[in-house]
Amino acid sequence: MSALILDGKALAQQTEAALLQRVEALKEKSGGKTPILATILVGDDPASATYVKMKGNACRRVGMDSLAVEMPSSTTTDELLAKIDELNSNPDVHGILLQHPVPEQIDERACFDAIALEKDVDGVTCLGFGRMAMGEDAYGCATPQGIMRLLEAYDIAIEGKHAVVVGRSPILGKPMAMMLLQKNATVTICHSRTQDLPALIKQADIIVGAVGKPEFIKAEWIKDGAVVVDAGYHPGGVGDIELGPLAERAAALTPVPGGVGPMTINTLIMQSVESGEKSLA
């Protein structure tokens, strides 16, 4: 068996073509106005700078504008909260992205939660998470929402399946588990204190690697015919899962690169367009 490749890069490119048309239509309706995503980068982490740049580029590809806010490594929580407040009050800004991680002196949770719900297009607030988990309207957290969109585009069955999520971070593992639960999967969340991880992973019909450690999840722990989703990206182009041997054994898998990563950015942009549509149309 050869695994179906869940091609996030291709899906993101297709979606961008449709988003470009939506932004054009919006401009016509609103007298030339375009959705604007404000991106906030605090500090000088090179990987974060690259991701923020990729997000700005994706905005331009769909005809949107971005407002790049850069703040020094010495920024305090109060300074960042003041900036978020300013962007919340700016009617020209439709979405706010605070790039994670922020420098350690900053209370990241307080800053995420300061983002107005209607501008939380990255889906990082507790309020948005709670609403999503209850099945209410909210923008989904970008990476897990991107994964759900990818699974849906490839008609991957979720209902009744046993999904094992390895990782419980606020912007990946936890919302991923809730989204799968919303689609009626039976969900197991594993983490650093989980006992006998290989045995739990062996039970997975759908396995999501969201642990942040290169190839931490071994191919031999995964059963034949599983759907394998790798949300990791590490230097050398590897993810959280040892994907190589699974190309012949999995039912489907997300490649690294070109799987989950492009869907993260695409989801942020799609939700920014939606937010623009809500306030400009």
Q: To the nearest whole angstrom, how small is the minimum distance from the Cβ of residue 248 to ligand LMY7XDAE?
A: 22
- Whether 21 is a known active-site residue: answer no
Distance (Å, rounded) from C-alpha 262 to C-alpha 260? 6
Q: In whole angstroms, give the CA distance from residue 154 to residue 34.
A: 31
Sheet containing 95-98: give its strands across.
65-71, 36-42, 95-98
Among 261, 266, 270, 276, binds ligand LMY7XDAE (CB under 6 A): 261
- Nearest residue to ligand LMY7XDAE on Cβ basis: 261
Catalytic: which of 7, 65, 120, 122? 122
Instruction: Give whichever of 94 and 161 is closer to ligand LMY7XDAE, judged by the CB atom.
Output: 94
Active-site residue, selected from the candidate residues 65, 99, 205, 240: 99
* Sites for ligand LMY7XDAE among residues 208-237 (CB under 6 A): 233
Point out which span in 65-73, 176-184, 187-195, 255-263 binds ligand LMY7XDAE (CB under 6 A). 255-263
Is 193 annotated as belonging to a binding site? no
Binding mask 39-68 for ligand LMY7XDAE (x = CB under 6 A): ------------x-----------------
- Residue 74 to residues 46, 69, 84, 115, 154, Cα–Cα distance (Å): 16, 15, 17, 21, 44
Environment class of 209 (CB within 10 Å of its CB; exposed 0-12, middle 13-18, buried 19+): buried
* Catalytic residue status for 99: yes
Of 58-66, 83-91, 96-104, 186-194: span binding ligand LMY7XDAE (CB under 6 A): 96-104
Options 264, 266, 272, 275; binder of ligand LMY7XDAE; rule CB under 6 A: 264
Q: Pick out residues in 166-185 that bind ligand LMY7XDAE (CB under 6 A).
A: 171
Task: Give the sign of the dihedral formed by CA 232, CA 234, CA 239, CA 242.
Answer: negative
Of 181, 80, 139, 75, the closest CA to residue 275 belongs to: 139
Query: Based on CB atoms, which residue is closest to ligand LMY7XDAE, 35 or 262?
Result: 262
Beta bridge partners of 162: 186
Tell me the C-alpha distance between 84 and 184, whole Å: 36
**DSSP secondary structure of 22-41:** HHHHHHHHTTS---EEEEEE
Residue pair 256/45 in contact by the 8 Å Cβ criterion: no
Chain positions 110 to 149 lying near ligand LMY7XDAE, rule: CB under 6 A, are 122, 124, 142-143
Annotated binding site for NADP(+): 167-169
Binding site for ligand LMY7XDAE (CB under 6 A): 51, 97-100, 122, 124, 142-143, 171, 233, 256-258, 261-262, 264-265
